[in-house]
Amino acid sequence: MKRREQSGLLNKNKSSGVAISRRAAIASSGAIALCAMSGGALGQEGGFSGLPKEIQERMAKSREFSERMRNAGSDEERTRIMEERAARERTRAIEDVRGQLEIAEAEWSVLKPRVEAVYRLVHPQPQFGGPGNMGSMSPVDRSKNELRQMLASKDASADQIKAKLTALRVAQEQSRQELTKARQQLRQILTIRQEAVLVLSELLD
């Protein structure tokens, strides 16, 4: 009995690890469910008719993305397709924030740049294309990648590892300070209701 309970606990812990990837994979957060649905009866032509228009559009976009990836002729083309999709998902996420705040266009034009600044720091742009595309990484992710590469080398000295570890901590501290400043600037122009909404969405703390 105890062995069965321990096995269940291990499975539970493994499944809970999925939540860790949420920040890094925000661009594809809804894709898995949509792809799963499109693989069944809903994936056939005309099978979307009973769903809300927004869901139909997202499922159609998911199918289009899959087809483009299958037909891509090179790794560079696949990287470009993934970057385009990530950009669309980020745009949609920002628009979702606007919907939660329920504000008019004039007010949104003022809030949007500050919301985007916070969003960019809370949800860094995911990297596509492997180590050769490190220019798109955030300073923190770039420092982490460099530290991983250093640790993968059996010839790395303690001083070399320490230097990369120090660089990572500096990047993390700078990122925290930048996020704190961006959040303060956003709070300055929010109502208390709007601030509460953004705290629940984890853009503010």
Number of domains forming the structure of the chain:
1
Segment 139-162 mean pLDDT: 92
| pLDDT of residue 150 exceeding 60 | yes
Contacting residues for 125 by C-beta, under 8 A, at least 6 apart: 86, 90, 136, 137, 138
Give tens-digit pLDDT for 46-68: 455 677 877 777 777 778 777 77
How far is the first Cα of the chain from the last one, in angstroms, to the nearest whole number? Answer: 43
| pLDDT of residue 171 exceeding 90 | yes
CA distance 175 to 140: 7
Segment 89-102 mean pLDDT: 90
What pLDDT was estimated at residue 180? Answer: 96
| pLDDT of residue 13 exceeding 50 | no
User: The tokens 């930048």 sit on which residue?
Assistant: 178
Q: Domain containing 127: what range?
A: 103-205
Q: What is the mean pLDDT of the chain?
A: 76
Domain contains 33: no
Domain contains 69: no
Domain contains 52: no
What's the pTM value of the predicted model, to 2 decimals?
0.60
CA distance 77 to 147: 29
Domain contains 119: yes
Domain contains 160: yes
Domain contains 94: no
